[in-house]
Amino acid sequence: SQQGEEDPQALSIQEGENATMNCSYKTSINNLQWYRQNSGRGLVHLILIRSNEREKHSGRLRVTLDTSKKSSSLLITASRAADTASYFCATHPDLGAGGTSYGKLTFGQGTILTVHP
Amino acid sequence: DTEVTQTPKHLVMGMTNKKSLKCEQHMGHRAMYWYKQKAKKPPELMFVYSYEKLSINESVPSRFSPECPNSSLLNLHLHALQPEDSALYLCASSQDKFLEGFGYTFGSGTRLTVV
């Protein structure tokens, strides 16, 4: 079963605009990660935020995490046509959940982002 | 080398065939993973290997048989697959499944079609 739900399912914007994607999850987590996937190929790790962090930046990316609401958002500023891809959040379970949870990175449904030149 | 290499990139196989997918990394990562991804869906975890030992099997049918011959190599042996097994199979690695705070490195996948 999938841990995360993302919205919107699809987002279409113009180059230069900002894109915001949201992710919600259900169980306690150790960390939350965001990945990008181009054209159904491999996933690229973008950014990781730990459960005790609230905000993290990497270049044009800004991720927030609200553990009380079990939600995260990914903001891409000044978007480019090359940002067109599917974006997935993925959660790593709280290590207190037990040894059988170690390594169970679970992906949300994803947001398809289209940036028009 | 910061890549995970998967071969072949494309595979078409009949339901009676036996084939294998190969995954290789030389980053010294001690955890390796197989994921299955259907079109327009997120990747779903199949297997986790930690220090060359199988640690998680997500109730995957026995027609999928993973193997980790050494710390750099991960195979997925396929036998008697069904057309619904057609999907993109992704391999990934991470430093250590017990270490928090590290992302996964994914290969570009093998697109499998079962006819």
pLDDT tens track for B34-80: 999 999 999 999 999 999 999 999 999 999 999 999 999 999 999 99
- Angle CA(B91)–CA(B92)–CA(B97) in degrees, nearest 5? 135
Whether B57 and B44 have beta carbons less than 8 Å apart is answered as no
User: Which residue in A has a C-alpha nearest to residue B98's C-alpha?
Assistant: A102
pLDDT (mean) for A51-78 = 96
Residues in CB range of A68: below 8 A, 6 or more apart? none
Whether A33 and B101 lie within 8 Å, measured CB to CB: no
CA distance B16 to chain A (A): 27
B70-93 confidence digits (pLDDT tens): 999 999 999 999 999 999 999 999
Whether B86 has its CB under 8 Å from any CB of chain A: the answer is no
Chain B residue with the nearest C-alpha to that of A5: B42
Q: How far, rounded to the nearest angstrom, does the alpha carbon of residue B69 sit from its chain's CA centroid?
A: 14
- Would the CB atoms of B42 and A108 count as touching at under 8 Å? yes
Residues A65-88: pLDDT tens digits? 999 999 999 999 999 999 999 999
- State whether B107 and A48 contact (CB < 8 Å): no
- How does pLDDT run across A4-18, given as a tens digit for each residue? 678 889 999 999 999
